[in-house]
Amino acid sequence: MKELETKYLERLSDLYPTIAAASTEIINLQAILNLPKGTEHFLTDIHGEYEAFAHVLKNGSGSVRRKIDDVFGNTLSSRDKQSLATLIYYPKAKMELVKKTESNMEDWYKINLYRLIEVSKRAASKYTRSKVRKALPKDFAYVIEELITEKAEINDKESYYNSIIMTIIRIGRAEEFIEAISGLIQRLVVDHLHIVGDIYDRGPGPHIIMDKLATYHSLDIQWGNHDVLWMGAAAGQRGCIANVIRICARYGNLDILEDGYGINLLPLATFALRTYQDDPCTCFKLKGPEKPNKAEMEMDLRMHKAISIIQFKVEGQIIAQQKAFHLEERALLDKINYEKGTIMLDGKEYRLLDTNFPTIDPKNPYALSEEEEDIMERLERAFTGCEKLQEHMRLLLSKGGLYKVYNNNLLYHGCVPLNEDGSLKEVELFGKKYKGKKLYDALDSYIRKGFFALHEQEKQNGRDAMWYIWLHPDSPLFGKNKMATFERYFLAEKETHVEKKNPYYFLLENEQVVDTIMKEFGLNPEKAHIVNGHVPVKRKDGESPIKCNGKVMVIDGGFSKAYQKETGIAGYTLIYNSYGLLLVAHEPFESTEAAIQKESDIHSEMMVVKRVLERRLVGDTDIGKELKEQVKDLESLLLAYRSGRIVEKL
Ligand SMILES: O=P(O)(O)OC[C@H]1O[C@](O)(COP(=O)(O)O)[C@@H](O)[C@@H]1O
Ligand SMILES: [Mn+2]
């Protein structure tokens, strides 16, 4: 033991070879521990709405505006503060606008540069110099550092700063400088980002969101059911591929696949046009606004139907292959009476709204026609071979997981499957039983196997597990008794469309249940919180996102435009800064253009969920714990130097 410790200290002494070096590091770490904790920003259910996402990222759910208020208090009008905020979010576009009306740009630059420097000073004050230095934009690193650091030794500070600012303006670099310093402020107001699931589907730009996340300075992702669906598709799972295309078609977003990812949909399009030429496809109307191009719209409708039928077939095949999923009831094509045009569900006969199934052989309803098979083979190759998609999936895999424990908070997208009585539900997965955290861990590892396992069957199970996670009643990311896709397309009876939620969602006010979940994930219920998304909070019906006296926060971000009429707002985001937890309610985002022109922001209201009595420091966080360990080790090293057990390396 002693020997091991000496060995470890020897290693450490390579990094800190002298008493002086070790001491300096201890002092530095101690200083960091006493700084206020960095701000965490939580977003969920972005659903491809990249403009709204980009805006919330820029304004840090009100964090930029808060900094402006802190700095200027009552010395700036609310209007001027909003202009300054807009400048920080959209510096380039805002300056273009200003230039059209402002007669004295030099004056404008001077005033705004001064204000931006003050805001960035405040934003930087929470961090060590070294961390700020790393965040500085390359071109202006030196001068920004000069401007935001207090200089005690200079007597006439004002003229010192003024001369720097005037030089920037004189040499024609004011705009670039404003852009750089605005970026720095955005970068500094949020220290770490949590994406609590569902980046993909419904909206037009998930790929743009993924590109943005790839460059974000610090983040983690808890996968949502829609993200896992795309992961399954990227791994070549046919049920997932068909669902991904069907959802893109349903929302008129096939461009994501064609233009965003370069996946060729021409074979599917020509097949759909031919096969459903005279079919009005009325059950497959698209969601969202009508497309101006009628021919494109007609084609989308037919592709929507073609891929839906393919989906029901391939899903039937998976159900037959993966008997352990016990989903036989959800294979519906063999429950149709093709002559009568009806289906038997739970012992009841329903009339189908659409009975044109030219590719279904009633005796073998799950078999793909030759052409359908050819299309699926090509799509499988296209998805698995798409470099950009694979790159985005690698980001999800490396930054993400099914859940995360971070600074005493438990983050997951959907739920923890429970029994009616609130106990953890035992779930069978490939012949083994799991519940609670073990269920999450098992599913997480299956997903990774779906990408990385060498053994073919293991890899196949991993891929099929992603489809399971998408729609299985026992999946913690789905959390509903059935996915009623077929019923919603083909049956008029609304009661068949209902997807019953797992008891979890009705037990969230029950403290005992919530505490059980927290303990299951190793958290102390006295201090912990659960943050989850997935279920839109219907504020217009008086529903609150805060459950169980603030222990649980359900913050479906409601970015998805299609869902805003159900929630009445654009949903919630969460901020966890050194003063506590803040829930922010957002108004619907109109457009980037409106945000710039009208200087409209979308956070409407903030609720303090928890205010701490003493400001939280880095020392109180998970990183703080690690730093304290390092301090302890370094103190042992110091002792070893001083006792002669280890010799300084000069
Ligand atoms: O309204 P749409 O887009 O067809 O989607 C409905 C489906 O989406 C789901 O709500 C899942 O999506 P969410 O994770 O966003 O809730 C399913 O339960 C449901 O069957
Ligand atoms: Mn979801």
pLDDT exceeds 90 at position 571: no
Q: Evaluate: CB of 49 within 6 angstroms of ligand 1.
A: no
Q: What is the pLDDT of residues 88-113, one digit of tens each?
A: 999 999 999 999 999 999 999 999 99
List the single range of 176-180, 427-431, 565-569, 643-647 with lowest mean pLDDT. Answer: 565-569
The predicted model gives 578-594 an average pLDDT of 85
Q: Whose CA is closest to 166, among 114, 229, 227?
A: 114
Does 534 contact ligand 1 (Cβ within 6 A)? yes
How far apart (Å, rounded) are the C-alpha atoms in residues 569 and 520? 33
Mean pLDDT, the chain, integer: 93
Cα 536 to middle of ligand 2, angstroms: 9
Distance of CA 163 to the CA centre of its chain: 44
pLDDT at position 153: 67
- What is the distance, to the nearest Å, from the Cα of residue 545 to the centroid of all Cα atoms in its chain? 18
Whether pLDDT at 609 is above 80: no
State the distance from the centre of ligand 1 to the C-alpha of 328, rounded, in angstroms: 21
Report yes or no: 198 and 221 within 8 Å, Cβ to Cβ. no
Beta strands in 440-586, from DSSP E residues, in sequence order? 529-532, 546-547, 552-554, 572-577, 580-586
> What pLDDT, on the 0 to 100 scale, is given for residue 541?
76
Is residue 557 pLDDT above 90, yes or no? Answer: no
Percent of the chain with pLDDT over 90: 80
Query: Do 305 and 356 meet the contact criterion of CB atoms below 8 Å apart?
Result: no
pLDDT of residue 558: 77
Evaluate if residue 28 carries a pLDDT over 70: yes
User: Cα(506)–Cα(415) distance, rounded to whole angstroms?
Assistant: 11
- For residue 128, what pLDDT is reported? 86
Q: Over range 440-464, report the average pLDDT.
A: 97
* pLDDT confidence of residue 216: 96
Tell me the CA–centroid distance for residue 330 and ligand 2, in Å: 20
Is the pLDDT reported for residue 161 higher than 90?
Answer: no
> Which residue has 């979308």 as its token pair?
602
- Please determine, for residue 47, whether its predicted confidence score (pLDDT) is greater than 90: yes
Establish whether residue 483 lines the binding site of ligand 1, counting it when its CB lies within 6 angstroms of any ligand atom.
Answer: yes
The ipTM assigned to this model is 0.94
Contacts of 261-269 with C-beta under 8 Å, sequence gap 24+, read: 261/207, 261/386, 261/388, 261/389, 262/386, 262/388, 263/379, 263/382, 263/383, 263/386, 263/389, 264/378, 264/382, 265/303, 267/374, 267/375, 267/378, 268/303, 268/306, 268/307, 268/375, 268/379, 269/299, 269/303
pTM beyond 0.90: yes
Task: Over range 333-361, report the average pLDDT.
Answer: 97
Nearest CA among 112, 111, 135 for reference residue 123: 135
Q: Which of 251, 481, 487, 488 for mutating ligand 1's site (highest number of atoms within 8 Å of CB)? A: 488
Q: Specify the pLDDT at position 154.
A: 66
Confidence tier at 160 by pLDDT (50, 70, 90): confident
Residue 441 has pLDDT above 70, yes or no: yes
**266-306 pLDDT tens trace:** 999 999 999 999 999 999 999 977 777 888 889 999 999 99
User: For ligand 1, is residue 480 a contact (CB within 6 Å)?
Assistant: yes
Q: How many residues does the chain have?
A: 650
Q: What is the pLDDT at residue 586?
A: 82
Spatial distance between the Cα atoms of 208 and 440, rounded to a whole number of angstroms: 29
Mind listing the pLDDT tens digit for each residue in 378-413?
Answer: 999 999 999 999 999 999 999 999 999 999 999 999
Beta bridge partners of residue 261, listed in sequence order:
none
Q: Are 339 and 331 in contact (CB under 8 A)?
A: no
pLDDT of amino acid 82: 92
Tell me the three state secondary structure of residue 490: helix
What pLDDT, on the 0 to 100 scale, is given for residue 603? 66
Name the closest ligand to CA 196. 2
Residue 16 confidence (pLDDT) above 90 = yes
Q: Ligand 1, residues 534, 561, 566: which to mutate, most atoms within 8 A of Cβ?
A: 534
For residue range 216-261, what is the model confidence (pLDDT) as tens digits? 999 999 999 999 999 999 999 999 999 999 999 999 999 999 999 9
Query: pLDDT confidence of 604, banded at 50, 70, 90?
Result: low
Tally Cβ neighbours within 10 Å of residue 118.
Answer: 18
Is residue 156 over pLDDT 80? no
| Residue 210 identity | M
pLDDT of residue 566: 66
Q: Which atom of ligand 1 is nearest to the CA of 477?
A: 14
Residue 388 belongs to what H/E stretch?
A: helix 387-399
Q: Which of 198, 225, 240 to mutate to test the pocket of ligand 1 (most atoms within 8 A of CB)?
A: 225
Nearest ligand (C-alpha, residue 536):
1
Residue 452 in tokens:
């990385």
Nearest-angstrom CA–CA distance, 86 and 464: 46
Of 143-157, 429-443, 444-458, 631-645, which range is least confident? 143-157
Write the pLDDT tens digit of every residue in 49-65: 999 999 999 999 889 99
Position of tokens 């309610």?
A: 585
Which atom of ligand 1 is nearest the CA belonging to 413? Answer: 14
Closest CA to 38 of 584, 610, 576, 572: 576
Q: Angle between the 387-399 and 206-214 helix axes, to the nearest 10 degrees?
A: 60
pLDDT value for 605: 66
Residue nearest to atom 15 of ligand 1 (CA): 534
Which of ligand 1's atoms lies nearest the C-alpha of 560?
A: 15
